Amino acid sequence: MVKQRIMVRSRYELTVEDGGPLGTMVTVSLAELAGRCGCRVDVLRRLVSFGLVDPVPGYADPPRFPDNAVSRVARALRLKQDLGLNLNALALVMELLDRIEELEDQLRSR
C-alpha cells in the first residue's frame, strides 16, 4: 500500500492510501474532521470515546478518520442538538439507525 501525505490549505493534512483492496482511501486528522464538522476537537474526542465515530485501524497515535466520517459526525451532532440526547442515548440511537440502514440495504439487494 502506498501512502502519500498531501497538504490541504496550509494547516490540514490528508493521507491518501492507494493500492488497497478497495482502491484509494482518504483519511483526515482529528483536527481536520472537527473543522469540517464545525465542532471542537474535545467534542469529537467524546464522540470517539463513546464509539460514535471510529478511527481507521492501523493509526494508533494520532488517529486518522475516513474522509466520509463527516456525515456521520454531522448526523450525531444534529441528533444530539435537536433531540437533546446525552451521549449514551445518542450511541443507542445511532446504533439503531445503523441497523435500520443495514436492513434496508438487505431488502434492496433482494
Q: What is the C-alpha to C-alpha distance for residues 17 and 1, in angstroms, rounded to an integer?
A: 7
What is the model's pLDDT at position 16? Answer: 56
The structural domains of the chain, ordered by start, are: 2-108 (1.10.1660.10)
> H-helix or E-strand containing 103?
helix 87-108
Phi, psi for 5 (deg, rounded to 5):
-100, 130
Q: How far is CA 81 from the centre of its chain?
A: 18
Indicate the SS3 state at residue 5: strand
- pLDDT tens digits, residue range 38-95? 999 999 999 999 999 999 887 767 889 998 899 999 999 999 999 999 999 999 999 9
Which residue reads 454531522 in cell numbers? 74
